[in-house]
Structure 1
């Protein structure tokens, strides 16, 4: 490249507003060739691409503006992941981490990015996100973020929440999984059974949840799990109104610990706890240990999720397994495959470990 060419294109000094056309002119190639070097490398020989990138760097050209490239291609090269929970929780909860891993593996293989969209007070984050589609891990009835995503006429897959017209859906049979957990403790002879429930609303209320509170639950997942517990207990002749249901909010292991402590300190201590997640069950194990209540000798505990922490608990936790990794994988595959969106219900199974035993 001559001194005159360097001078005409800015001399390699950054900040001079070099364009792709400037670089093409200086290198005596077409604009399409320079564009291919950055955006479609398979269209050039390795030697030509390396020469273009090397000489463009000497000129101080940083490459095409990614925002402008997005508009010109009409593709962002990324999908958006929307959570019900704060991102800080979603990235550390063992079950959620498996789900994100499954999603991320498919994105990586497909060469697309993953944009984590935080929970906000409105739909703005969903409406502004520069993505090619959405996976919404949202289980609230009437969640307007799902409406906003579908309204953008982009591919949408809802995970765990109610199936929606115009969107794919991936989930499990929460009701059947919970019924299996309840059936297990009933078969072990337990009749004084209590439930540790996930939050029923988004108001961070904790404590006993009466029948009206249960009926008004916006969370699809916990509503289905409560129904599964109720199905089995009432079929055995246990009055559901006599089963303590304690809402644990804000959702955490600590909330499960507090709720279990209240039940275990009460006048009619349960002999079995059905926890709607492993995190709540792990909190219950700690509450029992601090009170000298033997698990499973005096108290059986069943979780839901089979997160990696369940097998390492003391004692190892009996729980309902659901395939978190596969849930993320299938959601991503549905989103990225043309005409691939459908209704997919993944299997669950009861995993019996050492936190449950026959009532003596």
Structure 2
């Protein structure tokens, strides 16, 4: 009984082609099919340029001869292009697939990479990590740096490479490097004006502190004190808190009663803990403003558990407008998360002369929903 030469006699599973087997070369495949070597190469690298029938004939001949396709390392050395983009991500890798705002951003990155024929290499850079080796070894045509700390050694490693880089959100003010983001301070001022305009004066704020601060003291402190903590290292959170102070100053409202609770992670569970902490510190709060939707939804969970009606008993707001915000009726600030990822790739891969850094600021929009109302009498 004969066996298919491409099947394992023991398992029936397809054999993995063995590179370097006699006859297993691009030239041999071209000769067998009767086409040029360029046509064989296109079957792997530009399949849209061949008919379906021709590509199937080429791939069938390659499998028969044991040819596994062009060597990507050799191609990269020859063309000096990796056809890949690196993403230096300022959190643990799992966070990229769990946080809804990051998922939206990643979707925009992925779609733009696909349209431009690039793959995406994720390089995690959680707080306190020192993985510069991953950056230096990464075979990519450029890097997107997302939400990294100012003193992150991996950022320095990326910027030491000759390939272009684009910073998304933070760090701020890096000379000579393209930037894509939003006006975080102005964006948070939008929702702060809304809450203050409704008449709220006793306000709690939920913020995030980065992972290296997880053992830091967490009890609520006055807003002005919190802003001074780590201002340079964590510009996004500090800019959003400053937006509340801006709105209060515009209305002549003193900020002495604004309390801030900083939680170690951006999660729904931390929103629950933050709400408990703020309400224990000031039972007369009439509003809780979160710098993210995810933690704001955690606040809604805790208030529901306590039987506190929203917004009659307490106003709750967020920031980002992640997909779940609408279903929870959350008043928030919308930022174009998916578009931010797409524009980051477009900025990184455009062929303009790199004589000056490009700065792209995307718009934000206040979205008023059912979670905000004037304070209880």
- Would you call these one fold, judging by a TM-score over 0.5? yes
Contact 2:30 2:37 survives alignment (8 Å): yes
Q: Tell me what 1:5 maps to.
A: none
1:308-340: per-residue Cα shift (whole Å, max 9, x none)?
Answer: 111111xx1000111111111111111121128
Q: Is 1:343 equivalent to 2:343 in the alignment?
A: no
Q: Is 1:157 equivalent to 2:157 in the alignment?
A: no
Q: Is 1:138 equivalent to 2:154 in the alignment?
A: no
Distance 2:373 2:47 in 1: 62
Q: Is the alpha carbon distance of 1:281 and 1:46 closer, same or farther for their aligned partners in structure 2, counting shifts above 3 Å?
A: closer
Distance 2:277 2:361 in 1: 36
Distance 1:125 1:281 in 2: 35
Q: Is 1:80 equivalent to 2:65 in the alignment?
A: no
Distance 1:254 1:32 in 2: 56
Contact 1:139 1:220 survives alignment (8 Å): no
Match of 1:199 among 194, 200, 209: 209
Distance 2:48 2:199 in 1: 66
Q: 1:70: how far off?
A: 1.7
The correspondence of residues 132-281 of structure 1 with structure 2, limited to 5 A, is 132-161=141-170, 162-199=172-209, 202-204=212-214, 205=216, 206-209=218-221, 214-215=227-228, 216-217=230-231, 218-281=233-296
Q: Tell me what 2:96 maps to.
A: 90
Contact 2:271 2:295 survives alignment (8 Å): yes
Q: Tell me what 2:10 maps to.
A: none
Q: Tell me what 2:7 maps to.
A: none
Q: 1:165: how far off?
A: 2.4
1:152-187: per-residue Cα shift (whole Å, max 9, x none)?
Answer: 111211000114223211100100111111111111
Q: Tell me what 1:329 maps to.
A: 342
SS of residue in 1 equivalent to 2:332: strand
Distance 2:114 2:46 in 1: 18
Moved more, 259-268 or 286-295: 259-268
Distance 1:15 1:189 in 2: 72
Distance 2:57 2:283 in 1: 79
Q: 1:66: how far off?
A: 1.6
Contact 1:198 1:251 survives alignment (8 Å): yes
Aligned length: 347
Moved more, 48-57 or 152-161: 48-57
Q: Is the alpha carbon distance of 1:40 and 1:294 closer, same or farther for their aligned partners in structure 2, counting shifts above 3 Å?
A: closer
Moved more, 28-37 or 243-252: 28-37
Structural RMSD (CA): 2.6
1:106-149: per-residue Cα shift (whole Å, max 9, x none)?
Answer: 11111111122222622222221111111111242233322211
Moved more, 216-225 or 266-275: 266-275
Distance 1:213 1:297 in 2: 28
1:75-133: per-residue Cα shift (whole Å, max 9, x none)?
Answer: 11111122112221111211111111111111111111112222262222222111111
Distance 2:97 2:288 in 1: 27
Contact 1:200 1:222 survives alignment (8 Å): no
Q: Is the alpha carbon distance of 1:41 and 1:246 closer, same or farther for their aligned partners in structure 2, counting shifts above 3 Å?
A: closer
Distance 1:40 1:111 in 2: 10
1:27-49: per-residue Cα shift (whole Å, max 9, x none)?
Answer: 78765564454345678787766
Moved more, 240-249 or 71-80: 240-249
- Structure 2 unaligned spans of 5+: 1-15
Contact 2:331 2:371 survives alignment (8 Å): yes
Distance 1:16 1:171 in 2: 48
SS of residue in 1 equivalent to 2:64: helix
SS of residue in 2 equivalent to 1:263: helix
Q: TM-score, normalised by structure 2?
A: 0.83
Contact 1:150 1:166 survives alignment (8 Å): no
Q: Is the alpha carbon distance of 1:48 and 1:181 closer, same or farther for their aligned partners in structure 2, counting shifts above 3 Å?
A: closer
Distance 1:55 1:200 in 2: 54
Q: Is the alpha carbon distance of 1:270 and 1:64 closer, same or farther for their aligned partners in structure 2, counting shifts above 3 Å?
A: same
Distance 1:75 1:209 in 2: 51
Q: 1:252: how far off?
A: 1.2
- Structure 1 unaligned spans of 5+: 1-11
